[in-house]
Amino acid sequence: MKATKVEEKIFLTIMICSTVFVLSCLILILATVIWRGLPALNLSMLLQTPKGGFYLGKEGGILNAIMGSLFLAGGATALAMAISLPIALFLHFYAKRSWHGGVVRLALDVLWGIPSIVYGAFAFILMLWLGLRASLLGGIIALTFLELPIMTRGMDEAINMVHPLLKESSYSLGATRLETALKIVVRQAIPGLLTSSLLAFGRGIGDAASVLFTAGFTDHLPTSLFKPAASLPLAIFFQLSTPFPAVQNRAYASALILTGIVLGLSIMSRRIAGRLTEHVIR
Amino acid sequence: MYDPHIRINKWNVWYGSDHALVNITADIPAKGITTIIGPSGCGKTTLLKSMNRLLDEMAGTRVKGQVWLDGINIYDPGVDVTEVRTRVGFLAPKPFPLPMSIYDNVAYGPRIHRHTLNSRGGNDHDLDGIVENNLRAAGLWEEVKDRLRTSATRLSTGQQQRLCLARALAVEPDVLLCDEPTSALDPIAAQKIEAQLQALKKERTIVVVTHMLRQARRMADYVILLWMGELVETGPAMQVFVNPRDERTRAYLDGDIG
């Protein structure tokens, strides 16, 4: 065999090995969650809030945490979208050739790497300053900070993928940058924009540290922006840290629910994207 | 003599340190088809994009000189670039439909220029009529009239190019710039575009960049020949093609250079 052929074989083997490694990690995690969580999963888990002694293995469910997490991550994602899209459009249309754009992108990349507990602490200071207690709103603010960098960078990339000639077409019809950005580029980039939002939602709903101080925890359903809200990651954490195996299994069931929510949303957003992208130029 | 619609005066363009157009002075007569010809990389597209300020959108360009459109230098600081592009339409080499339906593609321009068109005596209430008229003018109406609401991406490349033509015409430009408008098309689709442009030249000033000498000979009323960023010769097609003054023109036409 020629040396180049051998080389190709070696690299192919490495690529296959790493893919298998990553996939098996994922499968092992899912298998553990399903293995330990599925037997503990039942309707009352999904439909009830914790009753007295829930954390000792008595009856109740985690509806408080499910609703809390959906509100927290949903609110934060909506807020982050409202901030990210203008930043991404600004970066692309107005700051492309200037040094500002580079600085903003660098800042976002650095922010991306900051541990979520730091966001929690930062949001907590902000809340103290605003006179806010641990609450749904506080959690939403903390998660918005957490989601912003990943969402903005994702949207930035999605917008950069739009073919320059498509923009030129719009400009040549006498459209302004704003009209081109909103009517053409956003439309064309919708699949990428949705994916970025979903990634950010996934990061937000799965994070425990940033909501620990800011949203707090409660056994009740979230009814007000100014009252504490429960969340699935914290529910998992509290249940796992009890000494009772039955409660620990419920933690895995909670993890299964969390995974199910993210999976369900991914499938749903793909469907929506499919409908919205009928006209997208490929 | 003829009446100039666009006057290019001592026009220079740099891409970074690359001097792409050197002191070009030329007139584009009103009505009829002016073709810009020359070998690849001689600055044909640059000159074309100078006339609707699409150059502005490219990074690192620098310009010097004037481009006069109806007596206004379009590079004057006070000039509204979207207004220029409304009056000077553009057809790209490769069709790029907007990510919307056939109908919305043609209606895109009229919708964003609603006010301007109204003040010029147009009528935006009849968007259906505008769409139909321009699709007819581009020779596409019969093929798409039953599926106006479907996505523009479903059309063939040749149809997409005629859609882009209809889209450009819908803004009612006085000038239409065409950058190698048939280079991505098969011969039959190309012939349709050529025929549409021939029909349109009675009403509008049309400027066509082409690297195909045969196409230039078929279409041109006036010719601008560029060579390495410099103007070699310009004038009525008959004169340039039959009796060129410059030795390089003769060599280019004979296929000795380029």
Q: Where are the alpha helices (DSSP H) in chain B?
A: 44-50, 81-87, 102-112, 114-119, 127-137, 141-144, 157-169, 187-200, 213-219, 237-242, 247-253
Whether B89 and A176 lie within 8 Å, measured CB to CB? no
- Tell me: the pLDDT tens digits for A181-233? 999 999 999 989 999 999 999 999 999 999 999 999 999 999 999 999 999 99
Backbone angles phi, psi at B20, to 5 degrees: -80, -35
Mean pLDDT of A59-75: 94
In this prediction, residue A253 carries a pLDDT of 94
Q: How far apart are CA A88 and CA A96, in angstroms?
A: 10
CA distance A148 to chain B (A): 27
In this prediction, residue A94 carries a pLDDT of 86
CA distance B166 to chain A (A): 11
A169 inside 8 A of chain B by CB? yes
CA dihedral A8, A13, A14, A18 (to 10 degrees): 140
Say yes or no to pLDDT of B1 above 60: no
Q: Is A213 helix (H, G, I), strand (E, B) or coil?
A: coil
In this prediction, residue B66 carries a pLDDT of 94
Backbone angles phi, psi at A38, to 5 degrees: -60, -45
How many Cβ contacts (< 8 angstroms) between chains A and B? 78
- Tell me: the pLDDT tens digits for B84-141? 999 999 999 999 999 999 999 999 999 998 766 566 555 556 899 999 999 999 999 9
Beta bridge partners of B24: B11
Q: How far apart are CA B96 and CA B181, in angstroms?
A: 12
Mean pLDDT of A275-281: 76
- Tell me: the pLDDT tens digits for A88-131? 999 998 887 778 888 999 999 999 999 999 999 999 999 999 99
- Tell me: the pLDDT tens digits for B182-219? 998 899 989 989 999 999 999 899 999 998 899 999 99
- Tell me: the pLDDT tens digits for A10-26? 999 999 999 999 999 99
Domains in chain B (CATH in brackets) are 4-253 (3.40.50.300)
Inter-residue contact B180 to B211 (CB < 8 Å):
yes
Backbone angles phi, psi at B181, to 5 degrees: -65, -15
In this prediction, residue B51 carries a pLDDT of 95
Q: How far apart are CA B191 and CA B197, in angstroms?
A: 10
Query: In which region does residue B148 sit, left (phi positive, over 0), alpha (psi from -120 to 50) or beta (all else)?
Result: alpha
CA A55 to chain centre: 28
In this prediction, residue A100 carries a pLDDT of 85
Rg of the Cα atoms in chain A: 22
DSSP string, B54-123: GGGGSTTEEEEEEEEETTEETTSTT--HHHHHHHEEEE-SS----SSBHHHHHHHHHHHTHHHHHHTT--
Whether A174 and B85 lie within 8 Å, measured CB to CB? yes
In this prediction, residue A277 carries a pLDDT of 75
Q: How far apart are CA A116 and CA A211, in angstroms?
A: 9
Residue of A nearest to B172 (CA): A173
Residues of A in contact with B99 (CB under 8 A): 166, 184, 187-188, 279-281
CA distance A197 to chain B (A): 21
Query: In which region does residue B84 sit, left (phi positive, over 0), alpha (psi from -120 to 50) or beta (all else)?
Result: alpha
Q: Global pTM?
A: 0.85
Region of poorest pLDDT, from A54-63, A86-95, A129-138? A54-63
Whether B171 and A173 lie within 8 Å, measured CB to CB? yes
Span A44-276: which CATH code?
A: 1.10.3720.10
A275 inside 8 A of chain B by CB? no
* Domain limits, chain A: 3-40, 44-276
For residue B92, give the nearest of A165, A179, A184 by CB distance.
A165
